[in-house]
Structure 1
Amino acid sequence: MDQADSLRNKMALQLSDQKKHTSGNARVIAVASGKGGAGKSNFTVNFSLALQRLGKKVLVFDLDIGMANIDILLGQSAEYTIVDMLRQRLSVWKIIAKGHEGLPFVSGGSGLNDLIEFSGDEMEYFLEQLQLIGKEYDYIFFDMPAGVSRTSLHFLLSADQAFLVTTPEPTSVTDGYGMIKFLHVNNKNLPVCLIINRIKNKKEGSATASNISAVCRQFLNKEIKSLIYIPDDDTVGKAVRAQTPFIAYSPDARSSAAVLQAARQYTNELNSQEKYTEFSFTAKLRRFFTTKGRNTFG
């Protein structure tokens, strides 16, 4: 850690000590899917970039550690990863890289040697570092691994909101509902928002969202909102191969227009709501990693 990082950390810690139960103003959003291949990471990158274009400060954390691909989608190679931060006790400022259009992101690494499950000490250090940047951003996105592990569950349950990415395919819908049910059982108050990806037309997207919402309402007594239906067009695949976000690769494509419109809608809706203030993300996550704090979200 260089002198500038050390000074910045000390100043940020002094501010955080004044309000120990807040991690800043950033809204923390965990992006999940019931199964792999739903397009979760691609959505995260493009939606984050769309928010940045609206003047929002956004940071993307790739938490699919060891199997990460945010840096690939952004066409950038990060010098450091989350694993480096934990094992070498690096400053979080040091591991934040810049992707397309300067979008800040933290790589999760891409190799079997990078696979890691947070220990108690590692999580505490991670939370300390996260607290340093809470006031720097409007949104912090956690791109979660597909499915659920002990650590990823805790991240999901501690977030201010979960985005669930699914496709109209029956297996994806079934797995997506399973994820919603699992989250609901553990935290009934967690807001979940649907992203329907790879739709043939708006009717298919609406039908998929309505089916999931109806099942959640009937069996979980939970209201699920939909944020966006993303068309399945050739632009997305071409952009991935070019390692460029599709809203930059082809701004006029239907998929790009959908993401940009969703970003505007999302920010407008949040501006009309009160901010989430009951507990900070770091405070909630820390509760899971203390003996008395486990399984406290009934």
Structure 2
Amino acid sequence: MERDFDTTKDVVTNEVKAKKSAQAKADAQLWVVASGKGGVGKTFVTTSLGLTLSKLGHSVVIVDLDLSGANVHTSLGANPSHMNIRHYFEGAKSLQELVIPTTYPRLSYVQGFWDSWTPTDFSYNQIQNLIPELKKLRADYVLVDLGAGALEAHLNLFKTADEKILVTSPEPTSIEKTYRFIEAYMCHSLKENAAPDAFGNMITTLRDHRQRTLSKPFSFKSYLKEQTGISYTFFEALSQKPVRLVVNSCRSQANAELGHSIKSVCHKYYDLGIDFTASINYDNAVWQSVKSRTPALVAQPFTPLAGQFLNSCKHLIDPEELRAVV
């Protein structure tokens, strides 16, 4: 009996070791945070998600890819580093070598372009080479803070993410740019598997639809099904991993419910399903935290704001993997 027990124990121990080894070799989950325009709090949302995931016991690396204004370090209360992601693109350092620890347990970051005095943009090949390197970083989650707008490089990275998080604010200019980003993302994704003529006709039809010059009601998905030369399986794939919409800086109940309206519009006009993940309250503690160089969720960890990010993370990650908040 003792031998049988010992054998069983050894088998269980080996299974646990094998499971831990597999988990250690698994790629990091890649979350990409984007926005249609600047000034909507995208970096605040990214760093707050990172802090919350780290409090849940997960290791996190935030990668700053905002070419126009890299400030993840500012949001985390850190000084700019002389080592930044430029050194990766120039081949001087590996991406892992550029990971900088923070004072917060399990949370690190990669400094964005801080010392670039000339216009910088990513090429298609640079992004394609970067994606596997992001997933190889030693972390459970890698969060990428993109620059604002629907640039091709942004859309390439957004498309490959395990979680695609789109941040907007309740202002009309931001809402408009959010719709434009979604449209650009759809067209960019469909272009890969479309014949040039069919894709050109699709763009013309979408433009006519926006200008309300079509002679009959328009369903984007139905239109694609009727066409040859365009694959519409994009919609099925997106239903498995939808765009996650976050409405930031909500000052009223109407603001907080805006995500439902955007979701409804996307379904009505594009037959596109998106997920309204969270509405985040406007809080004076946010701009005060930047001034004090202490993240709002650290300075005031028990506010409704912190609870909203906690609920968002619980919504996005596997509930079975949740650990006690520390």
Q: TM-score, normalised on structure 1? A: 0.75
**Structure 1 CA distance for aligned equivalents of residues 97 and 167 of structure 2:** 30
| 1:162 positional shift | 1.1
In structure 2, what residue type is equivalent to 1:252? F
Which amino acid in 2 is paired with 1:258?
Answer: Q
Aligned pair count reads 247
**Cα offset, 1:149, TM superposition:** 2.0
Gaps of 5+ in 2: 1-24, 190-233
Aligned twin of 2:54? 52
Displacement of 1:200: 1.4
Say if 1:214 and 1:269 are closer, same or farther in 2 by CA, change over 3 A: farther
Residue of 175, 190, 205 corresponding to 2:256: 205
Counterparts of 1:42 and 1:219, CA distance in 2: 30
Aligned residue for 1:144? 146
Cα distance in 2 between the residues matched to 1:201 and 1:271: 33
Structure 1 residues 231 and 80, CA gap change in structure 2 (3 angstroms): same
Deviation at 1:268, TM superposition (A): 4.1
Alignment-derived partner of residue 310 in structure 2: 260
Q: CA 1:114/1:28 → structure 2, altered by over 3 Å: closer, same or farther?
A: farther
3-state SS, counterpart of residue 104 of structure 2: helix
- Cα shift readout 1:35-81 (whole Å, capped 9, x = no counterpart): 10000001100111101110112111111125200011111133411
1:278 is matched with none
1:110 deviation in Å? 2.5
Residue aligning to 1:248: 298
**Structure 2 vs 1, CA of residues 80 and 44 (structure 1 numbering), >3 Å: closer, same or farther?**
same
Aligned with 1:101: secondary structure? coil
- What one-letter code is carried by the residue in structure 1 that aligns with 2:110? V
Q: Verify: 1:117 aligned to 2:135, yes or no.
A: no
Shift of 1:270: 8.2
Letter in 2 for 1:265: H
Measure, in 2, the Cα distance between the counterparts of 1:171 and 1:118: 26
- State the identity as a percent: 27
CA distance in 1, matches of 2:129, 2:266: 37
- What corresponds to 2:246 in structure 1? 195
Corresponding residue number in structure 2 for 1:225: 275
Distance 1:131 1:89, change over 3 A: farther
In terms of mean alpha carbon deviation, does 197-206 or 225-234 score higher? 197-206
C-alpha separation in 2, matches of 1:185 and 1:96: 34
User: What amino acid is the match of 2:121?
Assistant: E
Q: 1:224 to 1:117 in 2, by over 3 A?
A: same
Select 2:99's aligned residue among 68, 91, 96.
96
SS of residue paired to 1:194: strand
Aligned equivalents of 1:121 and 1:157: distance in 2? 15
SS in structure 1 of the partner of residue 142 of structure 2? strand
Residue segments in structure 1 that go unaligned for 5+ positions in a row: 1-22, 273-298
Larger Rg: 2
| 1:158 alignment partner, one of 157, 160, 163 | 160
Give yes or no for contact 2:127–2:157 (8 Å, CA) kept in 1: no
Distance 1:90 1:252 in 2: 39
2:231 is aligned with 1:180: no
More displaced, 30-39 or 142-151?
142-151
Aligned counterparts of 2:249 and 2:311: Cα–Cα separation in 1:
16
For the aligned residue pairs, the C-alpha RMSD in angstroms reads 2.4
CA contact (8 A) 1:65 1:114 kept: no
Q: Which moved more, 1:94-103 or 1:163-172?
A: 94-103
Q: Does the CA-based 8 Å contact 2:35-2:42 persist in structure 1?
A: yes
Query: Which amino acid is the alignment partner of residue 120 of structure 2?
Result: I
2:122 and 2:307 map into 1 onto residues whose CA distance is: 38
SS state at 1:179 partner:
helix
How far apart are the structure 2 equivalents of 1:108 and 1:226?
Answer: 29
SS of 1:244's equivalent?
Answer: coil
CA–CA separation in structure 2 for the residues paired with 1:209 and 1:249? 28
Q: Give 1:122 shift.
A: 4.5
1:194-238 CA-partner distances (Å, limit 9, x unpaired):
1011111344311x1111011100111111111111111111111
- Rounded to whole Å, the distance in 2 between the matches of 1:213 and 1:166 is 13
Does residue 30 of the first structure (1) align with residue 80 of the second (2)?
A: no
**Which letter maps to 2:288?**
K
Distance 2:318 2:136 in 1: 27
- Secondary structure of 2:37's counterpart equals coil
